Amino acid sequence: MSLPLDLGVFRDLFVALTEEMGVVLQRTAHSPNVVERRDYSCALYGADGTTIAMGDHMPVHLGSMPLSVAAARGAMELQPADVAILNDPSAGGTHLPDLTLVQGVWLEGDETPAFWLANRAHHADVGGRTAGSMPLTGDVYEEGVVLPPVRLMRGGSRVEPTWRHLLANVRTPEERSGDLAAQLASLATGERRLRALVDRYGKGRIEAMGQALVDYAARLVRGLLAGIPDGAYHFEDVLDDDGRGARDVAIRVTVEIDGETARVDFGGTDPAVEGPLNANPAIVRSAVFYVVRALLEEDAPANDGVLAPFVIEVPEGSLLRPGWGRPVAAGNVETSQRIVDALLGALAGAIPDRIPGASQGTMNNLAFGGLKDDGHPFTYYETVAGGAGGHPDGPGASGLHTHMTNSLNSPIEALERALPVRVRRYAYRRGSGGAGRRPGGDGLVREIEALSPLEGTILSDRRRRGPWGLAGGVAGAPGANWRLRGERAEELPGKAEFRLEVGDRLVVETPGGGGWGEPEAE
Amino acid sequence: MVEAVRELAGGRGVTRVVHGFTVATNAFLEGRTAAVGMVTQEGLEDVLSIARQTRIRLYTLRPEPARRLVAPERVRGIAARVGADGKEVAPLDPDDARAALETLLQAGAEAVVVALLHSARHPDLERRVVKALGGAPVPVVASHSVTAEPREYERWATAVVSAGLAPVVEGYLLALEEELAADDFRVMLSNGGMASAAEAASRPVGTILSGPAAGVVGARVVARAAGFDRLVTLDMGGTSCDVAVVPGEIERTTEADLDGVPLRLPMVDIHTVGSGGGSIARVDAAGALTVGPESAGAVPGPACYGSGGERPTVTDAHLVLGHLHPDLFLGGRRRLDVAAARRSIRSLAAPLGASLEETAGAILELARSHLERAVRRVTLERGHDPSDSTLVAFGGAGGLHAATLARALGGGRVLVPRAAGVLSALGCLAADARLDFARTLLEPAEAWPPERLEEAFEELEAEAGKALDRERVPPGRRTTVRSLAMRYRGQAYETDVAWRADAAPVEAFHRHHRERYGYARPEAPAEIVAVRVAAVGTTAAPALPEHAPAAAGRPDRRAIGLRRGESVEVAAWEWAALPVGHASDEPAVVFGDHATAVVPPGWAWRVTRHGDLVLEARS
């Protein structure tokens, strides 16, 4: 057996397994958020919880799912054909709508699982104060139902009290039930494939190659770090506000490169906030993971080796390690983007010719709900793309999801058919990209009209300051949110709960990307 | 080409020509299409360009957007609009539409697509706009007339691609038809059927993947003649590999993409993998061997082609291991340079710390692994199991990998057609006339009781009948195939369920869903997305030529390399000299005019009367 010759084959096998889990999840799920927007991830772990492989799904899930597996393992003695479910942000979760399922895979004769499988899907509603479960609240209990790791399935059968409890606490139980069925079907597919692999290659070989791939990813990353000049690089970036009074919430980071290793220290980051911007170390890991993979020229496998050369420090009580009880809805989707911006800003000090201007730096999370014609409640969630930063090698792209998300839009026809809304505008926000030798890309404008009364929440950022430029490039235009009522336009804050009466329109203008390099004279 | 056809006909009049062509594909990929203008909804002019707002590569600091299909100056919005229920939201002002057209023409539009919301279900407004633009100096097409797709971006993109191809395809086909003066000139379609040139030109996007579709049709003809029904076809050439699953009948999809652009018409369900004989092997930054996706293509090609390529490819690995014969490649039409191949592979062997043969073997195993991953995914997405299928391997490189791939997939049978390089031509001759008709419903299944569905089917069948009249299909050869595109409410993907007179559609859908995805939700409401009818004019299966070896051949002996540097002596045959009925348990390599087949140890093989090779795993 020769490692360099065989790595590629096993990498294919493991990635194929997670891809197949994803195929089944997407093809069988029920909610537009999973099916159309593909807001889910699937992964395979070793006996000790080491990530062996993860499908190319959602970057923001990458570094955080292993903590879900660890939490499920720590909370209970899972048995064969048991499946745990969780979303608790203090026990391996990120924000409440992300429901993660975890199961072990026992091989013949083993007392404990030889492997773990997990998948995570963003559910459009998990209860709480507002439809879509992303309220602008100061309290995690208002964000929805909190699930510490509990059994969803026992010995292959549904644990009815868990199901009944969960489904009684959400606004759209039928859809939740459909999406959970799809997550279970995906796990079953993963288990089947894994058993076939073990039959074909033997458990020892699969385990050894899993570890070899982790080592290989670590080697790739060490090579990357070795190419970055040694030194400590500091950067500070801010979130506009927490929606509840705190302004300019700062994330401070020092990236210290030392040969083939790096220390990433978030010391000095602002304390936890009252509003739902709080993140956690799982999200921080995901952001570091993303930046490393995006910098690598080689396509590194998504496993724990990627972070092996890193030490990550996150201070207690900070925005990034807030402790129990703080609301977290936007930590995963907004704060995660700013963590990436801070990391890239720091690295621009080390490798300025490889770092682009800041991209939109927000996901523009829009959640709303109301009653359909037939009186049934509905909930809906979407994110809106924006401008990418200008890059030393070329201009930034317009109207594209960047960094920690890559979720699709919902077709306008699907949206209008399913919900009492009309999409009036979905267009480039021309001129919003920052000027530069390589200009930033333009943001988007999305305008949605209510055909029946709606209540909702928008969680967005970069509304007060646009995404920064680099090397003399100009910042992109900040985003803006508006409610149009008749002739009157009312600007909404970046984080807002809103109500739309019939005929009102919500307008989301997303930020342009920052420019790179001095703009050339006309 | 016209010359060649005349020569084939040997001075007799040409009676029947079925033409498969790549003019549309190449024009699309190279961007040589007409400048299309688009009349669309005010406020939504950028929808086609924004596409699905996602980046193609996830991990990159320089994300690339989707391909732009229409220049921004050639898009104009109009206020007229209908809601999802078909009710008017804003009325049509014909002057508004004409003013939009005028702007597009000034911006150089050579064709115009009318692309409005909800038109798949409520086509009336698009029709009225087309009517208002009557007399335009360029073709004007409504998006709903090209595809019944119920998502605006995908429908509009398909219509724009079609309109852009129209002048290219029409010009090409009509000129060819005239020049050939055949009694019966037909064109291969991406749906695996064929149609008259006029019909094909009326919906040119329907020809865009006709070449690979013909290959699948041809593979099925050969496999049926050998007695095999459930197939996975593998068409492997220099740069890519086309995979299709054929569980008896050929399956079609309305979710095909080309170069990231959705093409939403029924097409033979083919998945293309960027893995072929030209895929380049290298050692990456962390010292691991990788193969592809970069390809040496045909130019400069593999190192052994001696055309300037120096980097090691999959084909070079085959040559180093003796799977290819330097003098018998493609019937000797191209001589291969063994020394160049060895040199290229050796450049990797040293950094890998492996022997030349081990390195070559590992390259082949990795290439096989990439294919395995793709085939598994394709079969899973379609709800099938690759292990109970016969792998039909063609294209120049298919037979080289087929046995090891089949084994990896858990399958035990491989068919390598003798005509491995020209199955597309056979497919053209075997193709049925086939035209697709659809009506979008997007309604709960319970709103469509059997009588009402029957009416919808009959309407489409009346349309289909007229089309078959135009196609001059004799009554005895006509059939129609009914199906329903269905999904659970809330699902975004529909799945085609064959319609059966004796089963309620909803029951058939639950069963289909369970078979394909492992579960059904009998309590959940189902929707009918579309009613579909395919009009088919059957073609008699062409007689396959009998294999007639020139002389009773004898094999040579030849050492070939396998995985891990092991070498084994095998029988080396020239395909033309293989006796019909020859059967053996011995490993072998067979060199043919179009393809080469490798029979590794552990496989039995035989020669059919058509000269095709059937390989069966022995354990």
Q: How confident is the model at residue B575 (pLDDT cuts 50, 70, 90)?
A: very high
B357 lies within 8 A of chain A by CB: no
Amino acid identity, residue A379? T
Residue B519 in this model has a pLDDT that exceeds 60: yes
**DSSP three-state, residue B527:** strand
- Burial of A236-267, coded b for 16+ CB within 10 Å and e otherwise, reads ebbbbbbbeebeebebbbbbbbeebebebbbe
Which stretch of A220-234, A235-249, A340-354, B195-209 has the lowest confidence by average pLDDT? B195-209
Residue B126 in this model has a pLDDT that exceeds 60: yes
CA atoms within 13 A on the CB side of B18: 21
Of A218, A243, A266, the position where a domain reaches its end is: A218
Q: How confident is the model at residue A204 (pLDDT cuts 50, 70, 90)?
A: very high
Q: How confident is the model at residue A137 (pLDDT cuts 50, 70, 90)?
A: confident
How far is the C-alpha of B24 from the C-alpha of B261, rounded, in Å? 14
Name chain B contacts of A402, Cβ cutoff 8 Å.
55, 63
pLDDT the model gives residue A266: 98
Residue B138 in this model has a pLDDT that exceeds 60: yes
pLDDT the model gives residue B10: 58
Inter-chain residue contact A8 with B59, CB threshold 8 Å = no
Q: How confident is the model at residue A34 (pLDDT cuts 50, 70, 90)?
A: confident
The whole-angstrom distance between B284's CA and the closest CA on chain A is 7
What average pLDDT score do residues A237-262 get? Answer: 96
Please choose, from the candidates A118, A116, A97, A103, the residue with its C-alpha nearest in 3D space to the C-alpha of residue A42.
A118
Inter-chain residue contact A426 with B64, CB threshold 8 Å = no
Residue B331 in this model has a pLDDT that exceeds 90: no
DSSP conformation letters of B146-209: H---SSHHHHHHHHHHHHHHHHHHHHHHHHHHHHH--SEEEEE-TTS-EEEHHHHHHSGGGGTT
B52 lies within 8 A of chain A by CB: yes
Inter-chain residue contact B61 with A385, CB threshold 8 Å = no
Q: Do A208 and A14 form a contact (C-beta atoms < 8 A)?
A: no
Tokens of B152: 């605006």
Mean pLDDT (chain B) is: 91
Residues 6+ apart with CB under 8 A from A522: none
Reported ipTM: the value is 0.91
The whole-angstrom distance between B494's CA and the closest CA on chain A is 9
Inter-chain residue contact B83 with A24, CB threshold 8 Å = no
Name chain A contacts of B287, Cβ cutoff 8 Å.
4, 219
- Minimal Cα distance from A416: which residue of B? B84
pLDDT the model gives residue B13: 63
E strand spans, B427-516: 433-444, 478-488, 495-498
Closest by Cβ to B288, choosing from A7, A391, A408: A7
Name chain B contacts of A196, Cβ cutoff 8 Å.
410
How far is the C-alpha of A366 from the C-alpha of A372, rounded, in Å? 18
Domain assignment present for A482 = yes
Name chain A contacts of B63, Cβ cutoff 8 Å.
388, 397, 400, 402
Domain with CATH 3.30.1490 in chain B: 433-537
Name chain B contacts of A296, Cβ cutoff 8 Å.
59
What average pLDDT score do residues B528-534 get? Answer: 95
Residue B11 in this model has a pLDDT that exceeds 50: yes
CB contact residues (below 8 A), chain B span 413-472, against chain A: 442
Residues 6+ apart with CB under 8 A from B19: B173, B176, B185, B186, B187, B188, B428
Please choose, from the candidates A240, A34, A275, A274, the residue with its C-alpha nearest in 3D space to the C-alpha of residue A135.
A275
Q: To probe the interface with B, which of A406, A438, A444, A509 has the most B CB atoms within 10 Å?
A: A406
B91 lies within 8 A of chain A by CB: no
- Minimal Cα distance from A407: which residue of B? B54
Q: Which residues pair with A446 in a beta bridge?
A: A426, A508
B56 lies within 8 A of chain A by CB: no
B148 lies within 8 A of chain A by CB: no
Domain with CATH 3.40.50 in chain B: 31-168
pLDDT tens-digit map of A358-370: 999 999 999 999 9
The CATH T-level fold of domain B31-168 is Rossmann fold (3.40.50)
CA angle A42, A46, A52 (to 5 degrees): 55
- Minimal Cα distance from B72: which residue of A? A428
CA angle A407, A22, A388 (to 5 degrees): 25
Of A176, A197, A218, the position where a domain reaches its end is: A218
How far is the C-alpha of A59 from the C-alpha of A29, rounded, in Å? 20
> Quick one: CATH architecture of B433-537?
2-Layer Sandwich (3.30)
pLDDT the model gives residue A237: 98
Residue B570, H or E segment: strand B567-574
Of A218, A238, A269, the position where a domain reaches its end is: A218
E strand spans, B190-275: 194-196, 230-236, 241-247, 252-253, 256-258, 261-263, 267-268, 270-273
How far is the C-alpha of A166 from the C-alpha of A177, rounded, in Å? 10
pTM beyond cutoff 0.90: yes
pLDDT the model gives residue B377: 82
Please choose, from the candidates A126, A119, A120, A72, the residue with its C-alpha nearest in 3D space to the C-alpha of residue A97.
A126
Closest by Cβ to A9, choosing from B49, B285, B369: B369
Interface A-B, measured as beta-carbon pairs within 8 A, has a size of: 206
Residues 6+ apart with CB under 8 A from B27: B33, B165, B168, B169
Mean pLDDT (chain A) is: 93
pLDDT the model gives residue A30: 76
| Residue B174 phi, psi (nearest 5) | -70, -40
Neighbours of A196 (CB within 10 A): 15
Inter-chain residue contact A412 with B359, CB threshold 8 Å = no
- Minimal Cα distance from A430: which residue of B? B46
- Angle of helix B356-381 relative to helix B338-352, nearest 10 degrees? 90
Domain assignment present for A253 = no
Closest by Cβ to A56, choosing from B58, B287, B490: B58
CB contact residues (below 8 A), chain B span 102-121, against chain A: 117-118, 120
Q: Do A388 and B53 form a contact (C-beta atoms < 8 A)?
A: no
pLDDT tens-digit map of B53-83: 989 888 899 998 888 999 999 999 999 999 9
Strand order in the sheet with A157-158: A51-54, A40-46, A115-122, A98-105, A83-86, A150-154, A157-158
- Minimal Cα distance from A415: which residue of B? B84
pLDDT the model gives residue B163: 96
Q: Do A334 and A461 form a contact (C-beta atoms < 8 A)?
A: yes
Which stretch of A72-86, A261-275, A446-460, B6-20 has the lowest confidence by average pLDDT? B6-20
Q: How confident is the model at residue A1 (pLDDT cuts 50, 70, 90)?
A: very low
Verify cis geometry, omega within 30 degrees of 0, for the bond prior to A309.
Answer: no
* B195 against B594, higher pLDDT: B195
Domain assignment present for A154 = yes
Closest by Cβ to B58, choosing from A59, A394, A423: A59
B24 lies within 8 A of chain A by CB: no
Domain holding A491, by residue range, is 356-522
Inter-chain residue contact A8 with B47, CB threshold 8 Å = no
Strand order in the sheet with A231-241: A231-241, A247-258, A261-265, A310-313
Q: How confident is the model at residue A208 (pLDDT cuts 50, 70, 90)?
A: very high
Inter-chain residue contact B289 with A7, CB threshold 8 Å = yes
Inter-chain residue contact B285 with A223, CB threshold 8 Å = yes
Inter-chain residue contact B43 with A397, CB threshold 8 Å = no
How far is the C-alpha of B195 from the C-alpha of B434, rounded, in Å? 7
The whole-angstrom distance between A246's CA and the closest CA on chain B is 31
Inter-chain residue contact B518 with A444, CB threshold 8 Å = no
Domain assignment present for A517 = yes
Q: What does chain B come to in residues? A: 619
Inter-chain residue contact B372 with A406, CB threshold 8 Å = no
Inter-chain residue contact B490 with A426, CB threshold 8 Å = no
Name chain B contacts of A509, Cβ cutoff 8 Å.
none
Q: How many domains does chain A have?
A: 2
Closest by Cβ to B65, choosing from A24, A174, A398: A398
Q: Which residues pair with B498 in a beta bridge?
A: B483
B517 lies within 8 A of chain A by CB: yes
Closest by Cβ to B151, choosing from A393, A413, A424: A413
Closest by Cβ to A32, choosing from B89, B492, B524: B492
The share of chain B scoring above pLDDT 90, in percent, equals 68
| DSSP structure class, residue A158 | E
pLDDT the model gives residue A2: 62
Please choose, from the candidates A79, A138, A137, the residue with its C-alpha nearest in 3D space to the C-alpha of residue A111.
A79
Residue A450, H or E segment: strand A443-450
Name chain A contacts of B48, Cβ cutoff 8 Å.
none
Q: How confident is the model at residue A29 (pLDDT cuts 50, 70, 90)?
A: confident
